[in-house]
Amino acid sequence: MSALRFPIAVDFRRVALDNRWISERWEPFAVVFTPEETDVAGTPVASALDGSGDLWRFEHCTLELHISEAEGYYLNLSSPEPKVFVMWRLTPDEGVPPVAPVRVTVSYNEAARSLDGGEAVDPVPMPDDLHALMREYVARHYRQERKQKAKRNDPHADGLFRRERVVRR
């Protein structure tokens, strides 16, 4: 089964820092679920949200849902505050803004794998309309694995390692 794709936009902001080595930091701060858009394939396009250049929206991003990630979606939705995880990178050229989203996910497991791989992944609050859609998706596709008793290797069960007394004459 192919992945479900939904159009979203990712908002980034520039945060000024009072630091002698770095003057600013970029971070995603919101994800906007845009169901009215039909073209979900494409390159994210940045547009300024304010005149100062501190707020930027990347449109034409895609959120993909895979059945194999249903456990990660369930873990996210069962947390006190569900999040959307944005993996992003600094762009190699000196363009404005100097950041770009690479992947957006709602799976704890996928976000953890990206973090383990050394990527920058930041959580942002999950919009209510996306939260409702995710609850429906998880209810339809997630099945909790049955717990099974662990079979332990007991070396003494068969008498293989039991010391036999050898009588010497």
> What is the chain written as a DSSP string?
-PPEEEEEEEEEEEEE---SS-SEEEEEEEEEE-TT-----S--EEEESSTTS-EEEEEEEEEEE-GGGHHHHHHHHTSSS-EEEEEEEE-SS--SSSEEEEEEE--HHHHHHHHHTT-EEEEEEPPHHHHHHHHHHHHHH--PPPP-PPPP--TTSSSTTPPPPPPP-
Whether 164 is covered by a domain: the verdict is no
Task: Determine the pLDDT at residue 74.
Answer: 95
Token match 């494409």: residue? 42
Rounded to whole angstroms, the Cα distance separating 13 from 28 reads: 6
- Based on the structure, what is the number of domains in the chain? 1
| pLDDT above 90 (res 115) | yes
Residue 25: both structure tokens together: 């930091």
**Residue 136 lies inside a defined structural domain of this protein:** yes
- Write down the pLDDT at residue 129: 92
Confidence at 42, pLDDT banded by 50, 70, 90: low
Residue 20 lies in a domain: yes
Residue with more model confidence, 89 or 93: 89
The two structure tokens encoding residue 5: 């794709």
Structure tokens at 146: 């049955």
Structure tokens at 113: 């794998």
pLDDT top residue among 45 and 59: 59
* pLDDT of amino acid 147: 77
In the chain, the percentage of residues whose pLDDT exceeds 70 is 85
CA distance 7 to 19: 37
Structural domain includes residue 37: yes
Q: Is the pLDDT of residue 67 over 80?
A: yes
Residue 167 belongs to some domain of the structure: no
Higher pLDDT, 158 or 103: 103
Query: What is the structure's pLDDT at 31?
Result: 95
Pick 17 or 35 by higher pLDDT: 17
Note whether residue 127 is domain-resident: yes
- The rounded mean pLDDT for the chain is 85
134 occurs within a structural domain: yes
Looking at the domain assignment, is residue 151 inside a domain?
no
| pLDDT tens sequence across 121-161 | 999 999 999 999 999 999 998 888 777 777 777 666 665 55
Name the residue range of residue 89's domain: 4-141
The predicted pLDDT at position 12 comes to 93
Torsion angle, alpha carbons of 99, 102, 106, 111, to 10: -90
